[in-house]
Amino acid sequence: MAIDPDELKTLVDWENGQISPRIFIDEEIYRQELAQVFDRAWLFLAHDSMIPEPNDFFSTYMGGDPVIVSRLADGSVTAFLNACRHRGMKVCRAEDGNAKSFMCTYHGWTYDNEGKLINVPMSEEAYLGDLDYSQNGLLKVAQIDSYRGLHFATFDPEAPPLLDYLGDMTFYLDSFLDQTPGGIEFLPGVIKWTIHGNWKMGAEQFGGDAYHAVITHASSFGAYNKRRDRDSNMGEQAALREGHTTGYSLAGTKSELRDILRHEDGEHQPSDDWEAEKLAIAEQRLGPERAKLRGHMNVFPNFSGLPGQANLRIWHPKGPNKFEIWSFTVVDKDAPDEVKRGTQLSATVTEGAAGVVESDDGENWDLIGQLLEQGHRTREMKWNYTMGIGKEDRMHAGFPGKLSRTIMSEGPQRAFYRRWLEFMTSAKWPYTPKSAQAAPNGTGSATVSEHAR
Amino acid sequence: MSAPELASPRKLIHSLVDPEAVALQYSVEQFLYREADLLDTWRWRDWLDLFTDDMRYFMPVRKNRLRRQRGESEFTSGTHMAHFDDSKRSMMVRVGQMESGRHWAEDPPSRCRHLFSNVRIDESVGDVHEFGVQSNFLCYRNRLESEVDIWAGERHDILRVSDEGEFRIASRAILLDQNVILSKNLSVFF
């Protein structure tokens, strides 16, 4: 049963920065979210470097649904539901590998790595020739595409093209993905862990919450980044109409914590040489400002990262009050091996379930989840998202989105929940600026001016 | 022909057991119990003193793999991501964080019981003055009002006998028996 759109609009008053935490705990809202958000939006699947060879595969999720991302012999990438057409059992229980086929271990239905049904045990005796293999392949995603090595897919055939969906976010993504000709690669090994909270807590924090770092991370990040105050005007929060959000500093300062952890000898830092070399290349490619961009971001709905640092991640929903973090460590493909090793060491100490920075995030998200699980008043009390309302007016040539006056603002969170509300309440695909530009006389054009602000 | 004389259990044990091995086993187990005590009583700096200066502290990601994939090592290495991949210096950062009074995930600190068992010594492992020790662990964590986590796994240690004749941990690899970590963090040591 669908939730009344007017009720949802009452819960998510993004314009006035008043949001009800019922959207983080309500079972009905969660089920609607799986259908309205995760079944339609473009979701991040995997990076090229995770499945480099023909027949490589990676097991992941789109919303709550298990999906296999598979590279075919011709080098193309496809994705399909990891659920057998016969009884819905997982056909692949390995998290990655190389396989030309997947056999369901229930009755033995076997599919090739394009998802086609290729073998059914005792097919003749059991189905007497009546089973049409061609109608019983694994369910494919409706669309799949990639941006600079990042593969995304959607279950919605009506979704706009990936580039339209990403919209202006490509400007900010490029500052991370396109610093050097080789771009990025993912180091092997996904750090996966569980938070008893709602996935949106992770997405909104990575999308826009520079504010929490000083206190939440007082014992790690905060303890080593004393220059924060001086830098606060050297960056901003950017809120895009597509619901993608980011915040960043352009001061070019590096985390001292990461630096002291990078290499064991402490004296010569191979990463310093590489950073200097890279900066010169990146300035050519991206301009002097974006080459120094360091921050945090979220691609709506659940793909986040730390641009200019070393992390990308997915917030996989596992119920209204449970999510898994799948954290990937990112390096420059062109970087020397010892620099990659240094990044791996510092990322291991700072990020992940055991990371000195990230372990304190878990404390917040998990405990908030407990309060919402058990309480009534705690569910009814609206949360305050008012920071920077009416002050998202910074002009910054070339930098898209509504920009905040300082690096602290909840403009990104408001933009995220505005988009979330649009997905939750509209039967049609929500307004997407790039698609509207491409088809000015197309459907929905009458509402462009209304939506574009 | 007379039947061979059966040894009494006491005599049999005496002939099979090497007193030096028993002494080593006992000393190692006592060392591990002292270590558990330091961890459970939040004396992290004293705990870190049990490690050599050139220590490695490593906890790889455990992967779900089919039997045919098992040839690949469980211990990820090189630039594979791990939960822990620490030197003494980075462990000092971790211990400093524990002591900071602002590490909210461990302040108030977790109540932990580290239980070590199944201690297996392998003297063929390691350099001179070193030997291998494998042990199983169960760590119970109880935190704040009602939070509980239970972690089980195996530790592969290399112990070194110091100049003072004491054991020091030169290397520790921890196999945690979880693929997706089921807790909100791994803010305790193993």
pLDDT digits (tens, 9 = 90+) for A316-338: 999 999 999 999 999 999 999 98
- Look at residue A1 in the predicted model and tell me its pLDDT: 56
Contacts of A363 in chain B (CB under 8 A): 104-105, 184-185
Interface A-B: count of C-beta contacts within 8 A: 143
Contacts of A340 in chain B (CB under 8 A): 79
Measured distance CA(A192)–CA(B17) in Å, rounded: 45
Two structure tokens written together for A42: 């473009």
Q: How far is B18 from chain A (nearest CA, A)?
A: 41
Helices (H), A41-139: 123-127
Two structure tokens written together for B78: 């090189």
- Look at residue A251 in the predicted model and tell me its pLDDT: 82
A78: pLDDT confidence band, cut at 50, 70 and 90?
Answer: very high
State whether residue A379 is helix, strand or coil.
helix
Two structure tokens written together for A357: 């920075």
pLDDT tens digits, one per residue of B41-69: 999 999 999 999 999 999 999 988 777 77
Measured distance CA(A130)–CA(B31) in Å, rounded: 68
Is A209 labeled as catalytic in the residue annotation?
Answer: yes
Q: Which of A13, A65, A107, A451 is catalytic?
A: A107
Measured distance CA(A175)–CA(A250) in Å, rounded: 11
Q: How far is A352 from chain B (nearest CA, A)?
A: 7
- Look at residue A226 in the predicted model and tell me its pLDDT: 59
Closest B-chain CA to A340: B79
Q: How far is A271 from chain B (nearest CA, A)?
A: 15
In percent, the amount of chain A with pLDDT more than 70 equals 90
Measured distance CA(A296)–CA(A413) in Å, rounded: 13
- Look at residue B68 in the predicted model and tell me its pLDDT: 72
> Is A335 an interface residue toward B (CB < 8 Å)?
no
| Partners of residue A194 on adjacent β-strands | A324
**Of A262 and A445, the one with more pLDDT:** A262
A210-219, A251-260, B25-34: the lowest-pLDDT one = A251-260
A260: pLDDT confidence band, cut at 50, 70 and 90?
Answer: low
- Look at residue A271 in the predicted model and tell me its pLDDT: 81
Q: Please compute the mean of the pLDDT values over residues A210-214 and round it to a whole number.
A: 92
Q: Is the dihedral of CA A218, A224, A227, A228 positive or negative?
A: negative
Closest A-chain CA to B100: A219
> Is A371 an interface residue toward B (CB < 8 Å)?
no
The sheet with strand A12-13 has its strands ordered as A12-13, A18-19, A383-384
- Look at residue A233 in the predicted model and tell me its pLDDT: 65
**Of A233 and B148, the one with more pLDDT:** B148
Quote the radius of gyration of chain A (alpha carbons, Å).
23
Are A194 and B180 in contact (CB < 8 Å)?
yes
Q: Count of residues for chain B?
A: 190
Going by DSSP bridges, is the β-strand pair B167-176/B51-60 parallel, antiparallel, or unpaired?
Answer: parallel
pLDDT tens digits, one per residue of A14-70: 999 999 999 999 999 999 999 999 999 999 999 999 999 999 999 999 999 999 999
Q: Please compute the mean of the pLDDT values over residues A230-243 and round it to a whole number.
A: 84
Quote the radius of gyration of chain B (alpha carbons, Å).
20
Q: Which of A47, A151, A217, A296 is catalytic?
A: A217
- Look at residue A449 in the predicted model and tell me its pLDDT: 46
- Look at residue A124 in the predicted model and tell me its pLDDT: 94
Q: Is the dihedral of CA A131, A133, A136, A142 positive or negative?
A: negative
Is A212 labeled as catalytic in the residue annotation?
Answer: yes
Note if the bond before B108 is cis, omega within 30 degrees: yes
Contacts of A152 (CB under 8 A, 6+ apart): A42, A43, A44, A45, A144, A145, A146, A162, A165
Q: What count of other Cβ atoms lies within 10 Å of the Cβ of residue B59?
A: 23
A252: pLDDT confidence band, cut at 50, 70 and 90?
Answer: confident
Two structure tokens written together for A265: 């000898």
Chain center to CA of A448: 27
In percent, the amount of chain B with pLDDT more than 70 equals 93
Q: Please compute the mean of the pLDDT values over residues A170-186 and round it to a whole number.
A: 96
> Is A218 an interface residue toward B (CB < 8 Å)?
yes
- Look at residue B187 in the predicted model and tell me its pLDDT: 96
Helix/strand/coil percentages in chain A, nearest 5: 35, 20, 40
ipTM: 0.93
A221: pLDDT confidence band, cut at 50, 70 and 90?
Answer: confident
Contacts of A216 in chain B (CB under 8 A): 104
Contacts of B172 in chain A (CB under 8 A): none
Closest A-chain CA to B81: A189
Q: Can you list the residues of chain B whose pLDDT is less than 70? A: 1-4, 70-77
Closest B-chain CA to A197: B184
Are A190 and B64 in contact (CB < 8 Å)?
no
State whether residue A412 is helix, strand or coil.
helix
Helix (H) or strand (E) holding A238: strand A235-239
Contacts of A257 in chain B (CB under 8 A): 93
